[in-house]
Amino acid sequence: MSGRTRPRGPLRWLLTFVKEIAVVVVGALIVSAVVRAFVGQAFEIPSGSMERTLGIGDRVVVEKLSDVKRGEVVVFADPGGWLPPTTHHERGPVGRALEFVGLLPDTGTDHLTKRIIGLPGDQVVCCDSRGRITVNEHPLNEDAYLYAAPDGRQDRPSDIRFSVVVPAGRVFVLGDHRSNSRDSRCHLDDRRPGQPRGDNAFVPINLVVGRAVAIYWPLSHLDTLKIPSTFADVPAGQTPAPSRASVQAGPDADC
């Protein structure tokens, strides 16, 4: 009777071992891809707009399950026209595959990272008599996170004056490096067909990937990202939030 001879001894053991390793690796990649899609994702910070909280090249863990809150640092997709055209070097097929399964961080070149200042229904104003941004008439003390130059001079909360009410389903965001951040302030004078003035200044919540919870690389920057205490006393905004944004801003509302 004829038939194939089954491998025996060391060769059979090696084939069994390779199969088991392949199953483990494939399973791990599937789990990693599911976690990336629904639970958390790694991002690399491409710009200095969130200094001093986040530096260029920092890698952060972004958690996707929680609802957004004031004071959180969030990663979101470009609402349209916030990012300039880029000519960055694309990763090759292997790099893109490793990024897809979560083994490499997203380079963040088509996303932005900012801090949520206003939620739907919040009135955000710059500024009070002491130069502070207020949310629902509560002044924010932003000294803990605003960028400070090497000579110790700290960025002002905003050089652009405005008063807005955040519409339903949107958030108002600012970078911590206010003098080097293209954020909600920079789009208060945007005019688009069929949209009210400044509508593009407010980020749709469905574009928010999640909140940055920790810096994991480089190890010298290892840290968790918490909501600054100044946001704890902000009162609730309008309920229900208006369907359209209310925007008052001068002609300097551009960056």
Residues annotated as part of the active site = 49, 114
* Helix, strand or coil, per DSSP, at residue 217: strand
Which distant-in-sequence residues (6+ apart) come within 8 Å of 57 by Cβ? 44, 45, 218
Q: Which of 202, 171, 212, 229 is nearest to 54 (CA)?
A: 212
Q: H helices then E strands: how many in the chain?
A: 2, 13
Give the span between the Cα atoms of 164 and 183, in whole angstroms: 14
Alpha helices in the chain (DSSP H): 9-38, 93-100
Which distant-in-sequence residues (6+ apart) come within 8 Å of 101 by Cβ? 29, 32, 33, 36
